[in-house]
Amino acid sequence: MATAADGLQGLAKRARVEDAVAWIDAHVAPLAAEDVLLAHAAGRVLFQDVLAELDLPPFDRAAVDGIAVRADETVGASAYNPLLFRLAPYAGGPGDLPAGSAVRLNAGAPLPRGADAVVPLGHVEPHEGGECAVIEPVVAGSEVERAGSQGARGSTLVRSGRRLGPGDIGLLASAGRARVGVVRRPRVRCLSSSAAFETGTSLPAGAACDAIGPMLRTLIERDGGVLAEQHDAGSKPETLRTAMALPGADILLLVGRNDDAAATLAEAGTLAIDGVALRPGAATGIGRTTAGVPVLLLPDTPAACLWACEFLAGRAIRRLGGRSPQFPFAPRTMTVSRKIVSEIGMTEVVPVRCVNGGGAEPLPSFAAAGLRAITEADGFVVVPEGSEGYQRGTMVTVYLYDERARAQS
C-alpha cells in the first residue's frame, strides 16, 4: 500500500537537453507511407520522389494571353509597319495554322500546328474585317512553353521528404497525379496519471491541469499528429502498464509526471531519461515500450508541459511524420534589449517581445507568469545549459511565433 512517503525520489540526475534530443533522433524514425488523394495531401510529407509520367507540359503551349503566329511572318513588324494577320478560329486544341493567319488563345492553351510563337495581347492591335495588326516582331519560341521544358518524362518532379505546399499540389495535379504517397500521420495516445484531462467539474475552477488537454491536442495537430485517444488512465501502475501494451499508437504521451509512471515505464519497457535540464519542463522522462513505441512522461503544469512538448514530444511527433524535427518557428537574429539571467546547468526558455528598432525584450519568466508569458510574447530565446544569460546588446536567435512579428513584405 502506498504511503505518504512514496514518491519522494527526486530528479537530481537530469539529462542535458542535447542528450534527450539525441536519444529521440536515434530512436524515432519516420512512419511508413499511405496513399492519399491529392486534394488531401496539402501539408503532408512526400514519402518518395514523384517522377513525371508525361512530358511537362505535354505539348507546346502559350505562356501568355495573346495570338499564336508563325514567328517568321512577323519579321519587319513595327508601329510604322503593322503587319496584318487574319484571325483563324481556335478549336481549343491543335490543328493547322493557315499561313498568314493567327489564332487568339489564352495562356496555357496548346499551340496550333505550325505556330511557333505567341504575341502578347499588348503588342497586338485589333483591326476591322477579322484581322489584327502585329507591331513588333517575335522570335520562334517567344512566349511558348515548350513540351517537356518543365520536366521531361521520367524526371523527378517533387522530391521525397518535401512538405507539399500549393505549388507542389499544382505541379502534381498538372502532371496528372490524382493520388500521392505520403508519410502516415503519427497516432498519438495521451494518458494522464492525474486529473489532467478532467473538465473541471470535480476540480476547483481554473485548476492548472484543465489547460493541458486542449493544449496538447493543439500541439499534436500542429506537428502533424492525430490525437488517437486522450483519457485519464488513473495512477495505478497496472493501468499504465495495460495502456502501454495496447496497440494502435505510434507514440504515447503520459501527462502527470510522477515517480510511479517512471517506475512503471522502467519495468514495462525502457526508461532512458528521467528528468531533463530544461526550464520549464525539467520533470520530463523519455523511454519506450517493449514494442519500441516512444513514451514521453510530461510534467502536468501547463508551461512545463508545453516546453517538454516543444523540445521533446513534439520533436518525436515531427520525426514520426517525416517533418523537420526543428522548432516550427522562424529563427531570427536580434539583439537583447535588457539583460537575461539564467542558471548554469539548465537550458532555459525566455519569452521575449519584439521592440521597435529590432530588439528582443525579455518578459517575465514562465515560472512567474505561466502560459501568460506566451500570450504576451512574440517569441522566445533559448539560453543553453552552459550560459549564465546574455548582456544587453548581445546578438541572440529569437524563435518567432508567427508572421505578424516577422513580416516585412
Interacting positions 263-282 with a second copy (CB under 8 A):
282
What distance in Å separates the CA atoms of residue 29 and residue 148, rounded to the nearest whole number? Answer: 36
Smallest separation (angstroms) from a second copy to the CB of 19? 15
Q: Given the complex with a second copy, which of 179 and 339 has the nearer CB atom?
A: 179
Sheet holding 117-120, edge to edge: 117-120, 66-69, 101-105, 83-87, 131-134, 124-126
Site for a second copy in 70-99 (CB under 8 A): 87-90, 93
Q: Which is nearer to a second copy, 246 or 259 (CB)?
A: 259
Nearer to a second copy, 289 or 379 (CB): 379
How many residues line the site for a second copy (CB under 8 A)? 127
Confirm or reject binding of residue 401 to a second copy (CB under 8 A).
yes
Q: Which of 256, 285, 287, 362 binds a second copy (CB under 8 A)?
A: 256
Q: Contact 53/347 with Cβ under 8 angstroms?
A: no
List the Cα angle 321/327/333 in 5-degree steps: 150
- Contact call for residues 321 and 223 (beta carbons, < 8 A): yes
Smallest separation (angstroms) from a second copy to the CB of 57:
6
Give the nearer residue to a second copy in terms of CB position, either 93 or 247: 93
CB of 156 closer than 8 Å to CB of 49:
yes
- Window 22-41: residues binding a second copy (CB under 8 A): 38-39
Residue 102 or 289: the one with the smaller Cβ distance to a second copy is: 102
Site mask for a second copy (CB under 8 A), range 361-390, x = bound? ------xxxxxx-xx------x--------
Whether residue 156 contacts residue 105, with contact meaning beta carbons closer than 8 Å, is answered with no
Residues numbered 290 to 349 that lie near a second copy (CB under 8 A) are 299-302, 304, 306, 309, 324, 326-332
Which of 36, 48, 59, 263: binder of a second copy (CB under 8 A)? 59
- Judged by CB under 8 A, the chain residues 180 through 199 that form the site for a second copy are 194
Contacts of a second copy in 205-234 (CB under 8 A): 205-219, 221-222
Nearer to a second copy, 94 or 389 (CB): 94
* 241 vs 372, beta carbon nearer a second copy: 372
Of 204 and 247, nearer to a second copy (C-beta) is 204
Binder among 20, 31, 61, 111 for a second copy (CB under 8 A): 61
Q: Residue 175 interacts with a second copy (CB under 8 A)?
A: yes
Is the CB of residue 229 less than 8 Å from the CB of residue 316? no
Closest CA to 314 of 284, 291, 292, 352: 284
